[in-house]
Amino acid sequence: MSVVLINNCDYHYEIHGFGKDYLVFSHGLLWRGSIFEKQIEYFQSKYSILVYDQCGHGESKILDGNFKSRYPYKETIQLLDHLKLKQVHFIGLSMGADIALRITLERPDLIKSLVLMSVNISPKSNYNKYKLLNNVIKFSEIKTILEPLLVNMFSLQFLNDPTNKEELEKCTTVLLKNDNEIHYAILSALKRKNLDISDLKYISCPTLIFAGTEDKAIPLENSELIHAMIKNSNLIHLKGSGHMVNIEDPETCNDEIEQFLINQSVN
C-alpha cells in the first residue's frame, strides 16, 4: 500500500490495473478497501483502479486523535487531487456512496460517473441504532456484537448458505481488525449533516444505483428517492441481497457496472 498524509491522517491506498479510465472504490463504515476484492479482480484488466481505506478505518490511522473536524469527502477530494485524478468513475458503498454524492456536488470536475451501492443520504435516520453500536464499541470490543452486526449487514439467506462460509470468514476478519478507536469514526460519520435531497437535481453525470431488497441497514426507499432526484440515473434492485451487495451478489454488480461503463464509452 502507498501512503499520503491528509489532514493529519495516514491515508493508505492501492492502485491496480493499467487502463486509461480510473475506477475509484470507497467502502462503508467499519470496513476497508479490501472488501472490493472481487471488483478489483474483475476490472483491473481493463481499468486503472484506486482503492483506499477511509480515515480511521483499515490502515489509515489518525495521528492526532482528532475526529471532530473531519469531513471524509473533503479528504477524498484531497486524495484525488494528490494523485492528479479527474473524471473518474466513483463507486461507493453505503458511507462511500454518501462521499461520492458530496464530491460530485462540490467538485463535479472530478467525477465522470457514479455507482451508488446501498446509499443513504440521511445519517439521522439510523442515528439511534449506530449511536448504540458506537457506545458498545467504545466501552467493549466489536466481537461482543459481531453476530447482530453481521445480521444487519447481510441477508439471512446469505448468512445461512454454507457455500458462503469462506467469504463470511473474510468479512468477519475485517470487522474484528477494528480497534476501539473506530468508535470515533462512527461518531464523526453520524454527526455529519444530511445531504439536501433537493441538491441532487444538480447531479447530471450518469449514475447507477444498487439496492438490496433485504437491506436492514438502510431503507430501500432511500435509493428510490435518490433515483427519482438524479435524472440521469438507473436503479437496480438486487433481489434477496442485504446491505453488502458487492459481496452478496458480485456477479450481477460486476456485470451491470461493466455494461454501465461500456454504454458511456459508446454514447
> Where along the chain do its domains lie?
2-266
Helix H or strand E encompassing 112: strand 111-117
Among 185, 194, 188, smallest CA distance to 122 is for: 194
pLDDT of 74 strictly over 80:
yes
Q: Has residue 237 got a pLDDT over 70?
A: yes
212 and 187 in contact (C-beta within 8 Å)? no
CATH T-level assignment (fold) for domain 2-266 = Rossmann fold (3.40.50)
How does DSSP assign 203-218, residue by residue? Answer: --S-EEEEEETT-SSS
Instruction: For residue 56, give the DSSP letter.
Output: T
pTM for this prediction: 0.94
- pLDDT for 224 beyond 60: yes
**Each residue of 88-118: pLDDT tens digit?**
999 999 999 999 999 999 999 999 999 999 9
More confident residue, 132 or 54: 54
b/e string for 100-131 if b means 16 or more Cβ within 10 A?
Answer: bbbbbbebeebbbbbbbbbbbbebeebeeebe
DSSP assigned state of 51: E
Quick one: pLDDT at residue 68? Answer: 63
